[in-house]
Structures are given as structure tokens and as C-alpha cells.
Amino acid sequence: MQNVQLYIYVDDAEDVPVAHRIELFNDEKISVTSSIQNFNDIGKLFTDYSQSFTIPASKHNNAIFRHWYESSVGETNDVNPQNVDGAFDHRIKYYGFIEINTIPFRDGKFTMQKANKKNGFIESYTINFVGNLVQLKDKFKEDKLNQLQGLDELNFPYTVYNVINNGYNNIKFPLIGSDRRYEFLTGTSSDISTVTGAADFRELFPAVRVRKIFDYIESKYGLTFEGEFLNYTMFTELFLYCKNTEKFNFYGDAILVNFSSKDGGFTQMDLPTDTLTFSFQQEPEAFRYESWIKITPTSSVITYSVQIYDDGVLWNTFENLTGYQDLSYFSLYRADENLVSG
């Protein structure tokens, strides 16, 4: 006969955690399932879990799950800085473990789902168990790939040599056209074997080795991916195509605009530092402040961006501009005590 024992840690205020044994009904069945499924959706990668089961509301169990109904559980005060009366908080998971015939079986966490009443008194509790392996979706939350650590090592000189020769081990440039189809030996204008139809390296978007992305994920989240599949060529030579726009936009290094002259009455502009300073003194009943910049590029086909900084902090950005631009980047007005900014 298999005897199951459940233990839970609930004494957060104790220096040495104490595992409390949960009393069970004699005829209660506990089913623990191990499941790893649907690798295509990390939200469906599960760990050990149990179906819900009930435990008696005995004097011993009541002491473990004390004050579970108290709405102030988890709050602190001067008398009790840990929580109110060390009460059991049904909103969180508590560490514990399962033994079978006194032999350790699984480590994990217990949660209370509900308390069951009969004739106005609590008769039993419904709880369940989940393993310590956290779902990957819970661990990643809303993080994006660009938030991984170590991505700077993927930077490299963007030259025709590195693109054509795949000069960087973890970056490749698939021969995929952005705005035209690539053909070979067809004699058409799209034939990349001809001079006129040759692929321009600036048309190609990069792809990152997936194995390297997994390395960054392991580093940031303290994970270790294991399995023979990770050593297969179909995985080690798998690349993630990174294409976030129809065409590449190429920009040189940012250049500080050098203002060489100003209107005689425009005292807020300091030419030596190329800095515009706003100083709001006593405000009238109604006022309006505006600031804008007018740009006339040397060529109408040049694509450029404008960044405006406020005390060293990026204030506004205007991207993918061409030709003459009249950019209003700051406006503030008040009328009838209503303040509006834009």
C-alpha cells in the first residue's frame, strides 16, 4: 500500500523554515501528472501538477491555513511587520513537497483554491500542487528579444565584404529581396547574375543564429536547455530572419546642428553651445509658447531623422524625413486657466 505525505512551509517569519505535514482524508486520492507538450507554444509547457483534492478542516490543518479569509492578509503594520498574524495567504503559492512511504517524490508549491462549508462551518479545503519548474511563459512575461543581455557582441562592421562572405559566424544574410524577386540565369532585369540585376548588399536583412539566441536566454533567466535536438544540424544551423521594415534605412552618425546666426531679438538661443533655453517667469492669464525648426536639406531625396534633446534627455524624434520640413516640437498655451501642452 502506498502512503502519501504532504508537507508545506508557511512560517515566513521563522529563521528556520518548518515543514508542516498536512492531514489527509483516509480515502482521498491524489493524482500527480508530469506533462511536457506542444513545444511550439511555450505557454503550454507544463511541469508536474496535481488535480485538485480535498483535505479535512481538522484542528491541525486549520492551524496551517489560519485566517485564509482575512482580507488584510499580506499587509504589514508596526506590531506585526511580516503580515497580519502570520496568516495563510490564498493568493500565493507556498513551497512544499510530497513523500510516498516517507521517500521524497516531488518538490513544488501548494495553493488553496477554496474552503468548503457545511452547515455554516468549514468542513474541508480544496488545494492543488504544482512542481517547481516555472512555466517559461511566466518567466519571460512580456520581455522582447531586444531586452536580452549580450546582444552587443552581435554588432559588426556593415560592409559589403561581411555581408557577401557572411563574415560573422552568428549572422547571415539570406538572399531574399525586399522589393523585388531575385532570379538566376533568367536574363531578366531581376537576374542577379547580371551587372544590372545584381543584388545590392543594402537590400539584404540579417538573420541571427537561433542557438545563439538560446544562449542569451539561458544567461538572462538562469535556464539550461537540454536535449539531443540542440546538437542536430537542423537546429545549430537554424537562423531567425530579422526584418522589421520593407526597406533598410541607412543613417550616418548623428551630427549636432551648428547654428551660425539668429534673429537679433531671439535671446533664448545660445550660438556657442547651439542650445535653446526656455525660461518661464510670471505667467500671464493667457499665453502661448511655441518652438519649431525649419530644415532645407541639400538634396530632396535624402532621408534623414531629427532628434531633439532636453537637458541631455531625448525629448522628441522625427524619422524618415525628406525634403523641406517645418517641425513644431514644443507648444504650450493656456487660456481661461486651462493648460494644454503638445
Q: What is the pLDDT of residues 197-249, one digit of tens each?
A: 888 887 888 899 999 999 999 998 888 888 888 889 999 999 999 887 777 66
pLDDT score of 341: 44
The whole-angstrom separation of Cα 288 and Cα 275 is 21
pLDDT at 339 over 50: no
85 touches 105 (CB < 8 A): no
239-241 and 207-209 as β-strands: parallel, antiparallel, unpaired? antiparallel
Q: Which distant-in-sequence residues (6+ apart) come within 8 Å of 340 by Cβ?
A: 332, 333, 334
pLDDT score of 21: 92
312 vs 68, residue with greater confidence: 312
Q: Which distant-in-sequence residues (6+ apart) come within 8 Å of 200 by Cβ?
A: none
pLDDT score of 246: 72
| The pTM of the whole model exceeds 0.75 | no
**What's the mean per-residue pLDDT of the chain?**
77
Rank 68-72, 109-113, 326-330 by mean pLDDT and report only the highest: 109-113
The CATH number of 4-137 is 4.10.410
pLDDT score of 332: 59
Q: What is the pLDDT of residues 148-159, one digit of tens each?
A: 888 888 888 878
Write out the chain in H/E/C secondary structure. CCCEEEEEECCCCCCCCCEEEECCCCCCCCCEECCCCCCCCHHHCCCCEECCEEEECCHHHHHHCCCCCCCCCCCCCCCCCCCHHHCCCCCCCEEEEEEECCEEEEEEEEEEEEEEEECCEEEEEEEEEEECCCCHHHHHCCCCHHHCCCHHHHCCCCCHHHHHCCCCCCEECCCCCCCCCCECCCCCCCECCCCCCCCCHHHCCCEEEHHHHHHHHHHHHCCCCCCHHHHCHHHHCCEEECCCCCCCCCCCCCCCCCCCCCCCCCCCEECCCCEECCCCCCCCCCEEEEEEEEECCCCCCCEEEEEEEECCEEEEEEEEEECCEEEEEEEEEEECCEEEEC
98 touches 4 (CB < 8 A): yes
pLDDT score of 216: 92
114 vs 259, residue with greater confidence: 114
Q: What is the pLDDT of residues 51-104, one digit of tens each?
A: 788 899 999 988 888 766 554 544 444 433 344 455 777 778 888 998 988 888
pLDDT at 9 over 80: yes
Q: Where in the chain is the domain with CATH 4.10.410?
A: 4-137
Provide mean pLDDT across the span 108-134. Answer: 84
